[in-house]
Structure 1
């Protein structure tokens, strides 16, 4: 999951339909390129230009898109389904909680899925917002559990993973944000939450309880919206990369 980008507004279906055709193509390419580095993009464009020059024609958007696809090994069938359900889970819960727009989804990486989500700035910093964030972050794992019955390590394993970010938020709610269940007015920051949680089992239990609650809540939302969830996962499985308009068309239904 990619780092969320702040956004103050979400497009309506009507607005999404009025996007300039060139902008729509650029958004499609940007969605397809999620997870690539700047150096990767530079090399792909350079190769696309060389291909066009050899064919004695101008470079086309399709050349770049083909280069992006060719830069990645095919994702195995079963893994592609897991990625699709995981990222669709994030998107459905994000939309259900009205956190903001979903800018794009991508499972065409072989390294895991990516989503680019935005947030309404006027709703941040309340207890409800943080609880909604926890629910959204746990939604990928909840989606895997709901459909595949077993979860993977894809939601954890790195400092920018879903579990890492959710744990940090839950930790801050207890220690620095004034939402703790014990001594909520005490401001107790720490740069290494893991070390604190290892030393303080009661705090670790409270943080974990927040994550369990968010996980269960995400699962309940996905069960209520199962048709939309499955439709988005199927579309993402087929397309492997979906821009905002394509995602919104399914979520809005």
Structure 2
């Protein structure tokens, strides 16, 4: 019985690198990729190999241009370190490529973000990618904004709710006034916009004060991510622990 269990564990361990590369893809995406690869190998008269599947997964990752791969990697590592060190979430994988250029998959600690302090830490995590770029390069790419599901949009929306709907606002906190449209609400209410921006600056400072302790780790893990495309959360946590221990 134990031998069968050991064999099963070994089999899953062998598949783990491919599973990590496939993180973020749907079952349908993976099925289509394997089907297309199998057909291509059949037409070429070559076997379907591990290397071919690995290459197909990397190609299907929609990798960023080499000129921006490292900044994107720095951005995602910034998110990842913030989630772990602020206690807001447990990172599962960090990757570059995909629809948004990069992604940090995280299991959010819902209990932590139930307080105003926890929500501010979450906003800090959302801004940590841009902060990491600023710390390493002195400037940031525009990818943190530009879309309704971007880091800046999500951070702004959550901050606005703290001011208008969660009972934590600076002005009339007991008044429940959830915004129908974030942009219009802020554009036509400069006082509220100033409160929201002030909170965002505080959250940005939370992220900056944290990441300023890890410049070498940021650079090291970003270079590794840019090369490997995907990092596992376990690896990230080991490196953070080593950095904090002074190794």
TM-score by length of 2: 0.84
1:187 CA drift (Å):
0.8
User: Counterpart in 2 of 1:107?
Assistant: 96
User: Counterpart in 1 of 2:224?
Assistant: 235
Unaligned runs of 5+ in 2: 1-7, 243-247
Name the SS for the 1:69 alignment partner.
helix
- Asked if the contact 1:32/1:108 (under 8 Å) is kept, the reply is no
Q: Distance in 2 between matches of 1:84 and 1:206?
A: 32
Cα deviation per residue 1:93-140 (whole Å; 9 max; x = unaligned)?
Answer: 111101221110111348511110112233231111100001000001
Name the SS for the 1:224 alignment partner.
coil
Of 135, 141, 146, the match for 1:152 = 141
Cα deviation per residue 1:152-194 (whole Å; 9 max; x = unaligned)?
Answer: 1100111111001000100000000011011111111122111
User: Counterpart in 2 of 1:251?
Assistant: 240
Q: Distance in 2 between matches of 1:110 and 1:134?
A: 22
TM-score by length of 1: 0.82
User: Counterpart in 2 of 1:80?
Assistant: 69
Instruction: Indicate how the Cα distance of structure 1 residues 20 and 180 shifts in structure 2: closer, same or farther if over 3 A, else same.
Output: farther
Of 178, 184, 195, the match for 1:206 = 195
- Asked if the contact 2:75/2:133 (under 8 Å) is kept, the reply is yes
User: Counterpart in 2 of 1:5?
Assistant: none
User: Counterpart in 2 of 1:195?
Assistant: 184
Of 154, 167, 189, the match for 2:156 = 167
Instruction: Indicate how the Cα distance of structure 1 residues 123 and 43 shifts in structure 2: closer, same or farther if over 3 A, else same.
Output: same
1:74 CA drift (Å):
5.4
Cα deviation per residue 1:52-90 (whole Å; 9 max; x = unaligned)?
Answer: 656576x55544322122235653333011111100110
Matched, 1:32 2:32: no
Higher relative contact order (CA 8 A, sep 6+): 1
- Asked if the contact 2:88/2:113 (under 8 Å) is kept, the reply is no
Q: Distance in 2 between matches of 1:140 and 1:219?
A: 10
Matched, 1:123 2:124: no
Instruction: Indicate how the Cα distance of structure 1 residues 61 and 126 shifts in structure 2: closer, same or farther if over 3 A, else same.
Output: farther
- Asked if the contact 1:107/1:240 (under 8 Å) is kept, the reply is yes
Number of paired residues?
234
Q: Distance in 1 between matches of 2:237 and 2:69?
A: 21
Unaligned runs of 5+ in 1: 1-18
